[in-house]
Amino acid sequence: MADKFAGAYAVILAGGSGTRFWPKSRKNKPKQLCSFGTNEKPLLEITLDRLDGCIPAERRIIITNREQEALTRALVKDRVAHLVSEPCSRNTAPAILLAALLIEKLSGPEEKPLMISLHADHAIADHDAFVSTLESGLRLARNQYLVLIGCVPSYPATGYGYIKRGAPLALAGAFSVAHFEEKPPRARAETFVRSGSYYWNSGIFIWQTSTLLEEFACYQAELLEQLGAAVYAQNDSKLSLDPCYQTLQPVSIDEGIIEKSQRVVVIQSDFGWNDIGSWTALKELYPTDSHGNIGIGEVLLLDCKNTLVESEGTFVAALGVENLIIVASKDALLICPQERSQEIKRIVSELEKQGRHQLL
């Protein structure tokens, strides 16, 4: 297996705020550093486990942010050789470009390194299928494609991006991309699922770093010039990015590169992917009782339906409620209708406005 991953680096984006998982997820300890359900391992540690046997520690890179660097470093220890912290968030395009530039700097002049871009907070049910998909993606990436992994949708999710499959390519298993759509309303998502030609956009990308840098030169030349100058001007292992990052404009890799490039292809996967984007996503990962409830921690549920309750210590009893999310942390209690789980980040915004920093 190791030969199939020769020359490949794994880049793990681990700097998100995880606001939709408040109050469990906080600025200093976002969801990738938290464990969920009955699993005692944090999501980031599970992500690293997934790479064992494929990508060695010396070819693993984590991009995080300054607020989370210490906890992240303490968690990963020697399982990751390169941990880079951004001084401030500028979305995914600068983070991924930063990793690509670092890989180019670490590689020899004759090498053609490959890059697998992953997120630290995803769930994967079928590990063998996941590894097999990565292998297929690496084969395509060696032909100068930007490879997206599209996941077969199991329900009409409204919180995910979708990729419409285009024409098949000569290379087996790959398709052109006809269309992207971000977080459609439910009726439209239902149409996508019925059509059989749409995939969830997993946010997992595979490419040669040289191919990606060529696309940045074409579509994000200023960003490439700014960040490239900062990375290549420094010889020490700890990059100083403060001056550079203050001038960068935030842009996502999807908007900045993927939706513009003519080299993008998608491959189909079905390895049980979930980006764990909100509390309701836990229903896809953990078993429910006969009434659709999940109780985690010191919890008692009586005559409840479709309700998720998690407690970090305080005993929580719920009686006769339906379709609720109830989360008790050490210093905060959340009660929210399940259909509004994507709006929990509004609570975080309001707490910021009120200066309630101890709750963030």
* Structural domains for the chain: 2-274 (3.90.550.10), 282-343 (no CATH)
Q: Which residues contact 147 (CB under 8 A, 6 or more apart)?
A: 137, 140, 141, 174, 205, 206, 207, 265, 266, 267
AA letter at 106: L
Can you read off the two tokens belonging to residue 78?
Answer: 């020697």
> b or e along 125-158 (b: 16 or more beta carbons within 10 Å of the residue's beta carbon)?
eeeeebbebbebbbbbbbeebbbbbbbebeebbe
Q: Which residues contact 51 (CB under 8 A, 6 or more apart)?
A: 10, 60
How many CA atoms lie within 13 Å of 302's alpha carbon, on the beta-carbon side? Answer: 5
* pTM confidence score: 0.94
Number of neighbouring beta carbons within 10 Å of residue 233: 10
Task: List, for residues 277-328, the tens digit of each pLDDT value.
Answer: 889 888 888 889 999 999 999 999 999 999 999 999 899 999 999 999 999 9
AA letter at 147: V
Lowest mean pLDDT among 229-238, 282-291, 334-343: 229-238
Please, what is the angle between helix 69-76 and helix 43-51, to 10°? 50
Task: List, for residues 8-22, the tens digit of each pLDDT value.
Answer: 999 999 987 778 999
Q: Are strands 8-13 and 114-119 parallel, antiparallel or unpaired?
A: parallel
Instruction: Tell me what percent of the residues of the chain surpass a pLDDT of 90.
Output: 84
Spatial distance between the Cα atoms of 129 and 94, rounded to a whole number of angstroms = 30
